[in-house]
Amino acid sequence: MLVSINWLKDYVNTQQLPPAELGEKITRSGIEVDAVIDRSHGMTNIVVGYVESCVKHPEADKLSICQVNVGEETTQIICGAPNIAAGQKVIVARPGAKLPGDIKIKKAKLRGEESHGMICSLQELGIEGKLVPKAYAEGIYVLPEDAETGSDVLTNFDLNDTVLELGLTPNRADAMSMLGVAYEVGAILSEEVQLPEISYKEASDTAASMLTLNVDAPEANPLYVAKVVRNIKVQESPMWLQQRLMVAGVRPHNNVVDVTNYILMEYGQPLHAFDYDLLETGNITVRHAKEGEMITTLDDAERKLSGHQLVITNGEKPVAIAGVMGGADSEVSEATTTVVIESAYFESGSVRQTSKDHGLRSDASSRYEKGVDPNRVIPAAERAAQLLSELAGGEVLAGSVVFDELNKEEKIVKVSPDFINSRLGMKISFEDMWDILNRLKFNTEAANGQLVISVPTRRQDIQIPEDVIEEIARLYGYDEIPATLPEAETTPGGLTPYQAKRRIVRSLLEGAGLLQATTYSLTSEKSAKQFALEETETTRLLMPMSEERSILRQSLLPHLLESVTYNTARRMDSVALYETGSVFLKGDDELLNEQEHLAVAMTGLWLDNSWQGEKKPVDFFVLKGIVETLGTKLGVQLTFERGQMDDLHPGRTAFIMLDGQRIGVIGQLHPTEQKARDLKTTVVMELNLAALLNIETAALLYTPVPRYPSMSRDVALVLSKVVEAGTIETVIRNAGGKLLKDVRVFDLYEGDKMEEGKKSVAFSLTYFDPEKTLTDEEVINAHEKVLAALTEVGAELRS
Amino acid sequence: MEAQLQELKTQALDKITAASTVKELNDVRVAYLGKKGPITDLLKGMGKLPAEERPKMGALVNVVREEVTTQLEGRMVILEEEAINQKLQSETIDITLPGRPVKTGNPHPLTRVVEEIEDLFISMGYEVAEGPEVEKDYYNFEALNLPKGHPARDMQDSFYITEDILLRTHTSPVQARTMEAKGGEPIKIICPGKVYRRDSDDATHSHQFTQIEGLVIGEDIRMSDLKGTLSVFAKKMFGDDREIRLRPSFFPFTEPSVEMDISCFKCGGSGCNVCKKTGWIEILGAGMVHPNVLEMAGYDSKRLTGFAFGMGPERIAMLKYGIEDIRHFYTNDVRFLSQFQRTEL
């Protein structure tokens, strides 16, 4: 909402406050002032000029040489506007004038002809092009004939004004009108509000003699008022009216349309003007549209209507979409002589739905949607009649044609001062409360220790005692509220075990050198299921903003890998990222099964200490080590099973298992996938973090520190290449008996000293007895069994 | 023989002085004091002396031997020290060479901000509550006093999946769910999480962002308690000398509703580019829980009251760290992420 302070002064005394100060007061008491705009833009030296003569420039087709009377002299000005002509009153920036955008006007020579100033368009005075009346949009603005030559344009055009731009919250629909803002400012400054005085002469003929009205949908349209004004002359509006509309952000059209828009801004009540003759039937019928019925609206769009949409008809066909936009067929034009002015109350939900259906939001619909004041519908119609008779020479027919079933009663809210103070934690006196309600123009009575408040219908946001508390508190001043802390019993706060473990996982990964990343949950069809751990249907948004962000992801890796590529493309060759976040799987009920996952992606060097000769690229085992440590830290036994997944290297992929369940995958990207993503060797991991964190961890009990030494034996085995170390380790563990404490691979050799198809794996076995020092014999016995078991599975001892 | 002894001593002492390495000195030791050395020879030759001379001569030999030994050991200390010094000298390293890197990552800046806020409120007795990102319309809107068709729904254009299921537009549904679950009992929670709105991504908008909200419900919770709580938060988060101010605002789920500004932490309130010359920075929205919201979750709004507040970690991180573009949080440029390593304590 754009509020001209000069216009506002018509209704309320602003106490000559500097605009910025007024704006600050409004902001601090409830409505945020987003901007304070000086309409003069520091302009000077701009006067009304009279074009005495105008001839073509001999050297330039598009320029005219004008002799312009600027009051104190007649001076020559070269003008390039196509619509310049002798006999016009125009806006002249004199030499030395300043215009918006730091433009200074100087004497100049244009193609050999002197020019003493510039004839201006409205755009050059800082008015937005889309607000300039169409007739002047491509050229200079032409002032009315009675503009006084040599007088100051800023004064004439009311440009010595400041506009407050209000950022309105949806509850403050009341402030979508100048009168509403006047009530707000009046409450803040303790000033009275002056409503416009409405008086006009009526013809002896009645409106009812020319127009009949039927309302077939009283729920959606409980109040409809029509006035008929005849013998009007449709023309350009006076300058003050055009000016006020432009300040409010509305483009002037003609006096009839401008009057309806002016009242929309003044009262917040949308009006519509029909050409009476084009209505053809002398009847207005409000009803729901027939399914598939058509209308061409004022924006020249042909629109198909549905049964739940409310329309205004002439008894036969639609002439307007109620509360949204008028029809082109009955549009007021220069040929119009008789108009029907509609002022109505349309139910907000109906207008919102219709406006949404057609993707059509107008100044009218945006007010109806939030609810207009039931008690302004009739005054707004009267105000329109008055202005049309004043500005368009119209003859107002007596009375109105009315359908009225609208409840216009004020809402009563009862609240006690004690209740107000106890909710606020304050001690506001009864007198101060009374004063504030009075300033708000809420009729209030005191009864049985309660404030009984009649809330004006313009304030439909005030419904319950808490709403009144806010009114009182905001006008009393939020700065006056003391700062206390809740007095209730203190409770121990904290994280749940799940949340605490999530933090442990994060700090472990960060300690291992990974940076935490965050990527988007919405993705493309293509990426949604890549690397997904489970096979379920994807979920698509009803109305995505783009295909790239249309589906809910089922794995974190695709976006995480995009982040890796983003970095390597910028020459950061070593990247190690992790992310925790939800993936979205189809669930049993209507909500999705949201699973918290953890993903890691690594590429480049893991260890880079080149000057000491230590350089290690990331590989499967770097990442596997991190996952294993994660399991240790969380007290769960994670195992790895060889596996396959699309886009992962078939020989370098494993599933991460927990209690026999597959909870994750780890592997190197498939070379093709790496290439497609423009990556070098990249290893990735994704697991169901929730499954991991939901495991209840066993209590930690100390194991006595060994009092006896352990003994170790190494075995180097020659194995077929396809035999996995893990298989052999299991054989050893099973054969080793209870003295075998630990088995560890300490060497792997696959070089050319081995027979074709063979490899050597060396294990270190640790024997230990917690009760006593082991004897050689005991160790030999146990070790012999291991060796025998190894021989049985075909593992040769390497000599 | 005595003269021979003196001669020997002089020779030995000269050689000791002349020895320049531990090895040379050891050679001297062996040469003069060793089993085959001249002094030993002399002692061995004592048997040939007359018996009455033996004690005198023996004493003399011992004196010489001791003196040579003392001198030798003294010299040995010096030479060993020199040797050590030389070794140390040769072992000197260039301490300006870089250390072996210890790999460390760090949390995302948003996690850093969220955890800081979580910890602050945990210390005041709050629990952390979380909920689904794909939500029912009921919890996201209706239970929060935003019935279908409510004009305030326009404030947050949403991503719907079906008519009744959508990506949550705020973390408030977690509050609604917690209230429903607590069945009328007091609550003190903080709810962090991801939220989604139909915005085109640019420097200040993101279709996905994070929120952290707080909710306190109890007997006699007053608006002054909200102000006091927010004041503690502002001081802990942005510095002890921060002041706060509340401005009236509107949220459908609170009444009264406020927005909170803090005095600018950069200029202290005198006006700068961070606070856009106003001296104040908008940080969060808050208010007293709307009685409709309480009643809908089964609370007796006459007996229990509450306050709620909500803020955007992106905005806080942008203000705190001077980040100019919200997209940085979702691009994961390691040159950006790795800057949030060090502590500010």
Pick from A63, A43, A41, A252: nearest CA to A141:
A252
* CA distances (Å), origin B222, targets A201, B32, B182, B228, B309: 57, 101, 21, 10, 14
How many distinct structural domains can be found in chain A? 6
The C-alpha torsion from B44 through B50 and B51 to B52, rounded to 10°, is: -120
Q: Would you call B250 and A172 a contact, using CB atoms and an 8 Å cutoff?
A: yes
A120-153 pLDDT, tens per residue?
999 999 999 999 999 999 999 999 999 999 999 9
Q: Would you call A542 and B247 a contact, using CB atoms and an 8 Å cutoff?
A: no
* Residue at A517: amino acid letter: A
A424 → closest Cβ in B159, B218, B222: B222
* CA distances (Å), origin B137, targets A353, B133, B169: 18, 12, 10
Those residues of chain A that have pLDDT short of 70 are none
Question: To which H or E segment does residue A474 belong?
Answer: helix A465-476
How crowded is residue A126: how many other Cβ atoms within 10 Å of its Cβ? 17
pLDDT(B43) > 80: no
Q: Would you call A542 and B248 a contact, using CB atoms and an 8 Å cutoff?
A: no
**Optimal mutation site among B161, B182, B304, interface A, most CBs of chain A within 10 A:** B161
A107 in a structural domain: yes
Q: Determine contact: B342 vs chain A, CB below 8 A.
A: no
B198 → closest Cβ in A27, A423, A545: A545
Same domain (yes/no): A635, A676: yes
Whole-number Å distance between alpha carbons of B287 and B216: 11
> Which token pair is A544?
């995505």
Whether A742 and A717 have beta carbons less than 8 Å apart is answered as: no
Residue ranges with strand state E in chain B: 127-128, 134-136, 165-167, 187-196, 208-219, 244-251, 254-263, 280-289, 304-311
Q: Which of A236-245, B19-28, B107-116 is predicted with the least confidence, judged by mean pLDDT? A: B19-28
Question: Which of A633, A662, A693 corresponds to the end of one domain?
Answer: A693
A479 → closest Cβ in B128, B198, B245: B245
A796-797 and A711-720 as β-strands: parallel, antiparallel, unpaired?
Answer: antiparallel
ipTM of the complex: 0.88
Report DSSP state, residue A222: S
- CATH code of the domain containing A532: 3.30.930.10
Q: Would you call B331 and A511 a contact, using CB atoms and an 8 Å cutoff?
A: no
**Å between A67 CA and nearest CA of chain B:** 48
> Which token pair is A121?
């368009």
A699 in a structural domain: no
Nearest CA in chain A to B110: A518
B110 → closest Cβ in A484, A496, A518: A518
Burial class (CB in 10 A: 0-12, 13-18, 19+), A169: buried
Pick from A493, A678, A745, A220: nearest CA to B124:
A493
**Å between A476 CA and nearest CA of chain B:** 11
Pick from A209, A298, A204: nearest CA to A257:
A298
B266-272 average pLDDT score: 85
> Which token pair is A340?
């029907």
Q: Would you call A353 and B149 a contact, using CB atoms and an 8 Å cutoff?
A: yes
B227-248 average pLDDT score: 92
Nearest CA in chain B to A541: B161
**Å between B267 CA and nearest CA of chain A:** 20
A483 in a structural domain: no
A703 in a structural domain: no
B192-201 average pLDDT score: 95
Whether A765 and A740 have beta carbons less than 8 Å apart is answered as: yes
Whole-number Å distance between alpha carbons of A632 and A626: 10
Question: Which of A663, A693, A723 corresponds to the end of one domain?
Answer: A693
pLDDT of residue B314: 96
Burial class (CB in 10 A: 0-12, 13-18, 19+), A455: buried
Whether B280 and B261 have beta carbons less than 8 Å apart is answered as: yes
Sequence-separated (6 or more) residues with CB below 8 Å from residue A242: A133, A236, A252, A258
Pick from A480, A469, A472: nearest CA to A435:
A472
Mean pLDDT of the residues in chain B: 91
A305 in a structural domain: yes
A339 in a structural domain: yes
Whether A685 and A638 have beta carbons less than 8 Å apart is answered as: no
pLDDT(B151) > 70: no
Whole-number Å distance between alpha carbons of A716 and A724: 14
pLDDT of residue B103: 84
Full residue range of the structural domain in which residue A624 is found: 497-693
> Which token pair is A585?
């799987």
Confidence of residue B247 (pLDDT cuts 50, 70, 90): very high
- CATH code of the domain containing A793: 3.30.70.380
**Optimal mutation site among A542, A548, A573, A693, interface B, most CBs of chain B within 10 A:** A542
pLDDT of residue B152: 67
Mean pLDDT of the residues in chain A: 94
Q: Would you call A493 and B123 a contact, using CB atoms and an 8 Å cutoff?
A: yes
A481 → closest Cβ in B125, B167, B227: B227
Size of interface A-B (CB pairs under 8 A): 243
Q: Determine contact: B161 vs chain A, CB below 8 A.
A: yes
* Residue at A633: amino acid letter: K
Q: Determine contact: B181 vs chain A, CB below 8 A.
A: no
Q: Would you call A495 and B128 a contact, using CB atoms and an 8 Å cutoff?
A: yes
How crowded is residue A559: how many other Cβ atoms within 10 Å of its Cβ? 24
Same domain (yes/no): A52, A107: yes
**Optimal mutation site among A29, A166, A171, interface B, most CBs of chain B within 10 A:** A171
Question: To which H or E segment does residue A339 belong?
Answer: strand A339-345
What 3-state class would DSSP assign to A686?
Answer: strand
A796-797 and A142-143 as β-strands: parallel, antiparallel, unpaired?
Answer: unpaired
* Residue at A558: amino acid letter: P
pLDDT of residue B7: 86
Which residues of chain B does A462 touch, with a Cβ-Cβ cutoff of 8 Å? none
* Residue at A217: amino acid letter: A
Whole-number Å distance between alpha carbons of B222 and A486: 8
Whole-number Å distance between alpha carbons of A213 and A404: 11
Whole-number Å distance between alpha carbons of B70 and B66: 6
What 3-state class would DSSP assign to A423?
Answer: helix
Q: Determine contact: B329 vs chain A, CB below 8 A.
A: yes
A433 in a structural domain: yes
- What is the CA B265 to chain-centroid distance, rounded? 23
Q: Determine contact: B80 vs chain A, CB below 8 A.
A: no
Q: Would you call A499 and B115 a contact, using CB atoms and an 8 Å cutoff?
A: no
- The tally of CA atoms less than 13 A away on the side-chain side of residue B48 is 6
* Residue at A419: amino acid letter: F
What 3-state class would DSSP assign to A720?
Answer: strand
A483 → closest Cβ in B115, B228, B249: B228
A630-664 pLDDT, tens per residue?
999 999 999 999 999 999 999 999 999 999 999 99
Whether A657 and A641 have beta carbons less than 8 Å apart is answered as: yes
Nearest CA in chain B to A505: B107
Same domain (yes/no): A246, A363: yes
Q: Would you call A594 and B133 a contact, using CB atoms and an 8 Å cutoff?
A: yes
Sequence-separated (6 or more) residues with CB below 8 Å from residue A111: A57, A59, A60, A63
Whether A187 and A439 have beta carbons less than 8 Å apart is answered as: yes
The domain covering B109-337 belongs, at the CATH homologous superfamily level, to Bira Bifunctional Protein; Domain 2 (3.30.930.10)
**Å between B186 CA and nearest CA of chain A:** 9
- The tally of CA atoms less than 13 A away on the side-chain side of residue A176 is 25
Whether A466 and B255 have beta carbons less than 8 Å apart is answered as: yes
Same domain (yes/no): A174, A32: yes
Same domain (yes/no): A49, A99: yes
Confidence of residue B270 (pLDDT cuts 50, 70, 90): confident
Sequence-separated (6 or more) residues with CB below 8 Å from residue B250: A169, A170, A171, A172, B152, B257
Q: Determine contact: B104 vs chain A, CB below 8 A.
A: yes
pLDDT of residue A426: 96
- The tally of CA atoms less than 13 A away on the side-chain side of residue A523 is 23
Q: Determine contact: B249 vs chain A, CB below 8 A.
A: yes
Q: Would you call B228 and A170 a contact, using CB atoms and an 8 Å cutoff?
A: no
Which residues of chain A does B121 touch, with a Cβ-Cβ cutoff of 8 Å? 493
pLDDT of residue A220: 96
pLDDT of residue A618: 96
pLDDT of residue B154: 62
Q: Would you call B247 and A27 a contact, using CB atoms and an 8 Å cutoff?
A: yes
Pick from A503, A483, A486, A424: nearest CA to B124:
A486
Mutual orientation of helices B54-91 and B22-33 as an angle, nearest 10°?
Answer: 170
**Optimal mutation site among B120, B124, B134, B302, interface A, most CBs of chain A within 10 A:** B134
Whether A687 and A745 have beta carbons less than 8 Å apart is answered as: no
Q: Would you call A425 and B224 a contact, using CB atoms and an 8 Å cutoff?
A: yes
A486 in a structural domain: no
Pick from A714, A754, A184: nearest CA to A441:
A184
Domain boundaries, chain B: 2-91, 109-337
Which residues of chain A does B222 touch, with a Cβ-Cβ cutoff of 8 Å? 422-425, 484
Q: Determine contact: B149 vs chain A, CB below 8 A.
A: yes
Whole-number Å distance between alpha carbons of B225 and B213: 16
The C-alpha torsion from B65 through B66 and B68 to B74, rounded to 10°, is: 160
How crowded is residue A170: how many other Cβ atoms within 10 Å of its Cβ? 17
* CA distances (Å), origin A567, targets A510, A678, B337: 18, 11, 11
Which residues of chain A does B245 touch, with a Cβ-Cβ cutoff of 8 Å? 478-479
Same domain (yes/no): A208, A257: yes
* Residue at A44: amino acid letter: T
* Residue at A505: amino acid letter: V
Give me the percent of chain B exceeding a pLDDT of 90.
Answer: 65
- CATH code of the domain containing A110: 2.40.50.140
- CATH code of the domain containing A297: 3.50.40.10
> Which token pair is B295?
């009643």
Whole-number Å distance between alpha carbons of A757 and B277: 76
Whole-number Å distance between alpha carbons of A605 and A681: 10
